[in-house]
Amino acid sequence: MSRALSDRELEVAVEMIRRAQVSAGLNGPSAKLPDLNRNRGPATRKNASAYQLRARTDRRTVWAANLANTVVSAACACGTCPSIALALPGDTPRYAYDAERSSFILDAVADSAIIVLFIENDVPVYLELVPPFNAGGVDEFPSIESMVF
């Protein structure tokens, strides 16, 4: 399976990259979580140093650029959620062990659901929706207006 991201999937992933809190996964030596999370709103000289702005902006910009080139490589096997695996065309899955791997987890909530975007080596690899426990099947990701970061 290989297809382009739907408008909603792309919208959610872009907003996650722009605004979501970054949590540690398996991070290589280049990971600087405080810089990625500091001042996630519009950046100005008043609220962040030039180094902090560059570190945060460069990494998130790379993630967004790589997202623009990804395709959906698989749907979640559960069949009850819209979660999708992402890959660069012609790329191999990024779940294999790699000692130099950098891994980040971005998360948000919407309508009692949890939305998670996994980043491996600066490439978004999985967009997941964890529905509320009492919910039945969920067909699509929530609107970005309903997401809380």
**Residue-wise pLDDT tens digits, 71-80:** 999 999 988 8
Average pLDDT over residues 98-121: 86
* C-alpha span between 39 and 21 (Å, rounded): 10
CA dihedral 25, 85, 10, 109 (to 10 degrees): -50
- Indicate the pLDDT class of residue 99, thresholds 50, 70 and 90: low
Cβ-based neighbours of 75, under 8 Å, separated by 6 or more: 1, 82, 83, 84, 85
Question: Which pLDDT score is estimated for 91?
Answer: 72
Q: Above 80 in pLDDT, residue 115?
A: yes
For the chain, report the end-to-end CA distance as a whole number of angstroms. Answer: 31
The string of pLDDT tens digits covering residues 121-146 is 889 999 999 988 777 778 899 999 99
Per-residue pLDDT averaged across 2-31, rounded? Answer: 84
Task: Write phi, then psi, for 81 (nearest 5 degrees).
Answer: -140, 165
